[in-house]
């Protein structure tokens, strides 16, 4: 029960720090303001890290590991897609090279005719 209270407290603190940062981002950009922004960013990150540690301690999924796993899976999927694209384009090229040109493809009537029968010639007038 106390872990839940601590977790909620950390998340509320992170939310408040993020709100403060938003206010500072909308104000002037002096050097002291830049330092304040950086400090708020560090506090926000620290707050969320603590909250995640609390969740992980309770036996939930490790968010850091799961995001790494997701990145690895995305990289593997991208590699597979690239390999498939390369393979597909290579296959198309091979098929195109193996196909006879349209101008020299045999006509079915030529392949079906008897070799002793004289061939009829058709003349097209255009």
pLDDT in tens, 48-77: 888 888 888 776 444 455 556 656 666 666
d(CA 116, CA 69): 72
Half-sphere exposure of 41 (CA within 13 A, CB side): 8
pTM: 0.37
C-alpha count within 13 angstroms, C-beta hemisphere, residue 48: 12
Is residue 91 assigned to a domain?
A: no
| Tally of domains in the chain | 1
- pLDDT tens track for 95-120: 444 455 555 555 555 555 555 656 66
Tell whether 66 is covered by a domain.
no
Residue 112 located in a structural domain: no
Instruction: For residue 7, give its domain range.
Output: 1-58
Q: How long, in residues, is the chain?
A: 126
C-alpha–C-alpha distance, residues 24 and 19, integer Å: 9
d(CA 37, CA 33): 6
Per the domain annotation, does 14 fall within a domain?
Answer: yes
């Amino acid at each position: 029960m106390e872990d839940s209270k601590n977790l909620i407290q950390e998340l509320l603190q992170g939310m408040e720090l993020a709100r403060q940062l938003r206010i500072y981002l909308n104000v002037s950009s002096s050097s002291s303001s830049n330092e304040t922004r950086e400090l708020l960013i560090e506090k926000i990150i620290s707050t969320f890290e603590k909250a995640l540690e609390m969740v992980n301690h309770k036996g939930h999924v490790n968010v850091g590991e799961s995001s790494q796993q997701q990145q690895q899976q995305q990289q593997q999927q991208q590699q597979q897609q690239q390999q498939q694209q390369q393979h597909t384009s290579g296959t198309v090229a091979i098929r195109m090279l193996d196909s006879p040109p349209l101008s020299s493809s045999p006509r079915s009537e030529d392949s079906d005719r008897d070799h002793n029968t004289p061939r009829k010639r058709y003349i097209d007038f255009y």
